[in-house]
Structure 1
Amino acid sequence: MTPGQMPEINGSCILRGKAGAPKGEGWSRTVHYEVSSMCRIDYQYKDNYKNHADGDVHKVVAILTISYSSH
């Protein structure tokens, strides 16, 4: 996966409502990615993440949940 781009493989969508709300300023809405029929990952990404004021800027993906059950 590439931060800032939707996955090209399998199904994905942006979650609606509170479930899709960004976890903070600059974060994307939550992406729901279907890895397989039995595994789903919800994640958000940020194109300009810094872990402290003097840190370098990086693109990051934050995994929020991994589910191994069907809908």
Structure 2
Amino acid sequence: MSNDRIEKLEETAAHLSKLVDDLNEVVTRQDSEIAKLTTQVTMLMRREAAREAESPGSVMIGDERPPHY
């Protein structure tokens, strides 16, 4: 193998290694954000369930027909 070819392969490997590191950082941030969002959704679901339990006779807004019907 020629030196130029080896040098090009090493350069490509270095770029790919940097790309993998960058992508790993993105995935790590996304994992953290997903965990936060999951916690928030769980909290909102509990809050909504508690609100619904306090007024069992009320109709959920999502189940109501819009006023123009």
TM-score bin (small chain):
under 0.3
Which fold has the larger relative contact order, with Cα–Cα distance below 8 Å and residues 6 or more apart in sequence? 1
| Larger helix percent | 2
The TM-score with structure 2 as length reference comes to 0.22
**Which has more radius of gyration?**
2
